[in-house]
Amino acid sequence: MSDHGTSVLVINGPNLGRLGTREPDVYGALDAAGLAEAIRGWAEELGLTAEVRQTDDEATLVGWLHEAVDTRRDVVLNPAAFTHYSYALRDAAAQVTTAGLRLVEVHLTNPATRERFRHTSVVAGVATGTVAGFGPDSYRLALTALQGGGPHGAAAG
Ligand code: DQA
């Protein structure tokens, strides 16, 4: 099966299931279910289908990236804290982009403006691109980037 170009896997990493109650002054009031609903709605408006998943588990994240490769799906990934140190996640993300699929790294906040340990992303170097700092809109912007155009989108060729 190939959903490539229309179906996007949106993957959220650790602690993002706690949105709404987790540091709302930093991450906002929208909870994880609300975010997932918004993402699915934005995707639909853009002619895409978004499957939204969240886990706190690194191995599960790696497995989902393998699945994206095997099912030929572009990925929107918020690696959360794993952004800053998970080489396993970086290596899995690299498999997505070297397979000719696109992976957009997203962040609600702009890590570059925060604590020093957040200034490093080990994922960015293998991502197609990064959107950070726009709150939930970061996901909408990432989906917009995956809509149609680009070398791997539905409008390609
Ligand atoms: C985050 C930023 C990370 O530094 C942090 O660990 C998160 C969320 C963001 O979306 O702003 O959990 O990825």
Ligand 1 atom nearest residue 132's Cα: 11
pLDDT over 90 at 5, yes or no: no
Per-residue pLDDT band for 150 (boundaries 50, 70, 90) equals low
The phi, psi pair for 122, rounded to 5°, reads: -85, -5
Whole-number pLDDT of residue 135: 97
The dihedral region occupied by 141, where left means phi > 0, alpha psi between -120 and 50, and beta the remainder, is alpha
Q: Whose CA is nearest to atom 3 of ligand 1?
A: 80
pTM, two decimal places: 0.92
Q: What is 7-146's CATH superfamily?
A: Dehydroquinase, class II (3.40.50.9100)
What is the pLDDT, as a whole number, of residue 148?
76
Q: What tokens appear for 146 in the block?
A: 């995956």
**Ligand 1 within 6 A of CB of 118:** yes
| Structure-block tokens of residue 1 | 């099966």
| Residue 85 among the catalytic residues | no
Q: Does the pLDDT of residue 149 top 60, yes or no?
A: no
Nearest-CA residue for atom 8 of ligand 1: 80
Query: In this predicted model, what pLDDT tens digit does every residue of 83-95 receive, in sequence order?
Result: 999 999 999 999 9
